[in-house]
Amino acid sequence: MRLLKRYFWRAVLIPTLAILAIIVGLDCLFGFIYELEFLRGDYQALQALQYILTTSPRRIHEYLPMAILLGTLIGLGLLANSGELSVIRAAGVSTLRVSWLVLRPVLMLIVLSVPLGEYLAPYTEQVAQSNRSLAEGGGEVVRSKYGHWHRQGDEFLYFNAVQPNGVLYGLTRYRFTDEHKLVETQFVERAIYQGDYWSLEGVSGTRLLEDHTETYQQDSGKWITGLTPQLLSIVVVKPDNLAMAKLLEYTRYLKQQGLETADYMLSFWQRLLMPLATIGMVLIAISFVFGPLREVTMGLRLTAGIVAGLIFHYGQQFFGQLSLVFHADPMMAAALPPSLCLILGIWLLQRVR
């Protein structure tokens, strides 16, 4: 049985890793070509390549479920085409046992993806976004088009770049009264976090009074706020690319500010339930190989796997956006597609036993 375990490990892992390398490689290539259309300032081909390579951990984590699905289909399909799967079944190994042997390497990949998605990918994504913003501005922080908006209390904030070491570039503050009247605008070239406040450099602003305006400029200043580099590092990264712990942390902050949190909670539950969906898709793949795709070409298996993956992906996006529009529970919207996928996989597997 130990020999059989190693056999299935190779059958699943090698195609999965090969498919993952191909998909991520193609995505990086197309992403690099896309970035070449937006070269400006110091953001040239070398910087675009650095941006693509820095975001590769996020791409690996994003495409891993699809690679697992296709790798399982290919690995088991090769065993079925060569007759080895039939020999294994004839030796008394049940379908349930084969499914468990296939799931073992899948579970290992899922476990390894946790630190990738929780620690490495969010950090490298922030670094990539910050470096691109600074390079695209050509040293002029006001020129970058990759900025981010944020609201805190009676202020609306816009900043061009946030570095992980607690440095803000191109910060613009718009302060309003309780009657939503603009009373002051301020631009800060750079802000450095000092532990409990931000040290401002290159400050210029305008105060809007009842009958006139006042402009001012300062070499330095001080900004006391509850915003920390940890919170701002969440703002610059899309919710789907954030760590689950960061999603919960930022959700609590948004609730304190009286802002909407459904988008971030939806991403949290989708990330949390993704392993369940991956297992469900693998069970569907196993049932396909034992059932309707047992004696078909590899191209048809790949097509079936891609179609199944796309149906799940767009189904998840559909229910997620539907929950945001109709203010439904994000947990229910995120749990529905993986649950259906898992139930379908178990049902199909029961039919081929």
pLDDT in 10s for each residue of the chain, 353 residues: 677 888 889 989 999 999 999 999 999 999 999 999 888 878 899 999 999 999 999 999 999 999 998 899 888 888 887 778 778 877 888 888 888 889 999 999 999 999 999 899 988 998 898 888 778 765 444 445 567 888 888 899 988 888 877 888 889 999 998 888 999 999 999 999 998 889 999 999 999 988 889 999 999 999 988 888 888 877 777 888 888 888 888 888 888 877 788 888 999 999 899 999 899 889 888 888 877 656 667 677 777 777 888 888 888 888 888 888 888 889 998 999 999 888 988 888 887 66
Residue with tokens 């992403």: 31
Q: What is the pLDDT of residue 294?
A: 60
DSSP summary character for residue 352? T
pLDDT of residue 175: 93
- How many degrees, rounded to 5, is the angle at CA 204 between CA 202 and CA 206? 170
- What are the structure tokens assigned to 42, written together? 């110091």
pLDDT of residue 54: 95
What is the structure's pLDDT at 201? 93
What pTM did the predictor assign? 0.82
C-alpha distances out from residue 125 to 121, 169, 243, 244, Å = 6, 17, 11, 15
**162: Cα separation from own chain's centroid:** 18
pLDDT at 142: 46
Token pair 């034992």 in the structure block, residue: 290
Q: How distant is the alpha carbon of residue 254 from its chain centre?
A: 20
Give me the residues paired with residue 169 across strands.
Answer: 161, 190
Measure Cα distances from 324 to 244, 329, 331 in Å.
Answer: 19, 9, 11
Token pair, residue 8, equals: 């299935």
Long-range CB pairs of 93-96 (<8 Å, 24+ gap) are 93/4, 94/353, 95/286, 95/290, 95/349, 95/352, 95/353, 96/349, 96/353
What local confidence, expressed as pLDDT, does residue 353 receive?
60
What are the structure tokens assigned to 199, written together? Answer: 């040290």
**226 DSSP assignment:** S
Helices (H), ranges, the chain: 2-35, 45-54, 56-81, 84-90, 95-115, 121-136, 229-235, 244-256, 262-290, 298-325, 330-351
- The 10 Å Cβ neighbour count of residue 91 is 8
Q: Which pLDDT belongs to residue 212?
A: 87
Which of these, 316, 313, 344, lies nearest to 330 by C-alpha position? 316
CA angle 182, 186, 191 (to 5 degrees): 140
* Dihedral sign from CA coordinates of 236, 240, 243, 248: positive
Q: Which residues pair with 193 in a beta bridge?
A: 198
Length of the chain as a residue count: 353
- Going by C-alpha positions, the residue among 187, 157, 188, 170 that lies closest to residue 130 is 170
Q: DSSP characters for 268-283? A: HHHHHHHHHHHHHHHH
Please check whether residue 10 is in contact with residue 72, taking contact to mean a CB–CB distance below 8 angstroms: no
The torsion angles phi and psi of 98, rounded to 5 degrees, stand at: -60, -40
